[in-house]
Amino acid sequence: MRVLLTGGAGYIGSHTAAALAERGHEIVILDNFANAERDVPARLERLTGKKIPIIEADIRDVPAVVAALREHPVDAVIHFAALKAVGESEADPLLYYDMNIIGTIRLLQAMQEANVTRIVFSSSATVYGQPDSSPILEDFPTRVENIYGRTKLVMEDLIRDLARTKKLKAAANLRYFNPVGAHPSGQIGETPRGVPNNLMPYVSQVATGERPHLRVFGNDYDTPDGTGVRDYIHVVDLAEAHALALEHIVTNDVSITVNLGTGEGTSVLQLVTAFETATGRTIPIVIAPRRPGDVSSYYANPALAEQTFGWRAKLNVEDMCRDSWRWQASRAGINDI
């Protein structure tokens, strides 16, 4: 297949590009580089051994997207391009409505104009808000707890509506849990700008010495060790899930909404210990107050993905820590893995 990846130079998009190329698919990347390093395309070409067309454009620019789709006729689009910081979304809701919701509408318009009728979409477990219980199944109620989460729900609904009204032949809403890790080659990984919001990049930067310690946001939750529990998923497993979901919906012309997680809950302290074991580095911690808006615990029931397109996560938390560290250490010029 030939596939256009919006946001394909970003963290999850670049790993998915690598996974698709490995399975013999052709990739086209469309990205405005708002949150991607300029050297990602060259790194991907080194990794895959393939020339990858890169279109520098904004998904809200319908003529540019139509032109890209006409120049590179594709079987499907995988739609990663979005803003993803919860705090920023609360500070600037209109920015998020514009980039995420209007951006998705413009992309869907361009696809319709270019007669591209299949899409895989990056949704998020954030659509479940504070769930009543875990493991979470896809038919659990969705809840809006912040502007970012609202945009994901609206984007899912837009895509579901177009599938229901047959404007799209096939669509996959993939609800990621907590993606972490990096490609084992060390060529691609996550490069947060400024102070990382998320746990794994923060821990990795403590390990390099860029930050003095990890603040553990709350140790009085109703969890086995009192710290927040999440379902971390290796980005390489997540990338493979995109390839399998894409192949499934394109072959069968169906639409699906599926969780992508491991099904395992890991606490903040368990993750820190796993990181120390996997890397031999010590992570100093300081217990801090709870972070506003945080959920105590959530993890996926990932059975539907396995039933539907034969995917299950293969990599464990130690693999995630080791690969995050390899990437972060090489960025920091540390050579000990």
Give the shortest CB-64-to-ligand NAD separation in angstroms.
10
The span from the CA of 314 to the CA of 239, in Å, is 12
Among 96, 128, 140, 176, interactor with ligand NAD by CB under 6 A: 176
Lookup: tokens for 334: 């540390």
Give the shortest CB-187-to-ligand NAD separation in angstroms.
15
Q: Decide: 105 and 62 in contact? Cβ < 8 Å.
A: no
Q: State the catalytic residue, choosing from 148, 176, 202, 299.
A: 148
The span from the CA of 251 to the CA of 262, in Å, is 25
Q: Is 298 in the active site?
A: no
The span from the CA of 95 to the CA of 93, in Å, is 5
Footprint on this chain of ligand WQD (rule: CB under 6 A) = 84, 86, 124, 126, 178, 197-199, 202, 214-217, 228, 230, 268, 291, 294
* In the complex, residue closest to ligand WQD by CB: 228
Give the shortest CB-122-to-ligand NAD separation in angstroms.
3
81 belongs to the binding site for ligand NAD (CB under 6 A): yes
Residue whose CB is less far from ligand WQD, 55 or 82: 82
DSSP state of 226: S
Among 33, 113, 185, 331, interactor with ligand NAD by CB under 6 A: 33
**Backbone φ, ψ for residue 270 (5° rounding):** -65, -40
Q: Decide: 135 and 187 in contact? Cβ < 8 Å.
A: no
From ligand WQD, ligand NAD, none, interface partner of 215 (C-beta below 5 to 8 A by class): ligand WQD
Contact pattern from residue 56 through residue 75 relative to ligand NAD, giving x for each residue in contact according to CB under 6 A and a dash for the rest = --xxx---------------
Give the shortest CB-205-to-ligand WQD separation in angstroms.
10
Give the shortest CB-124-to-ligand WQD separation in angstroms.
3
**Closest to 188 measured CA to CA, from 7, 3, 14:** 14
Among 5, 10, 111, 278, interactor with ligand NAD by CB under 6 A: 10
**270 half-sphere exposure, CB direction, 13 A CA radius:** 18
Long-range contacts of 26-29 (CB under 8 A, 24+ apart): 26/1, 26/2, 27/2, 27/3, 27/52, 27/53, 28/2, 28/3, 28/4, 28/52, 28/53, 28/55, 28/68, 28/72, 28/74, 29/4, 29/5, 29/53, 29/54, 29/55
Residues at the interface with ligand NAD (CB under 6 A)? 6-7, 9-13, 31-36, 58-60, 80-82, 84, 99, 103, 122, 124, 176, 179
Residues labelled as active-site residues = 148
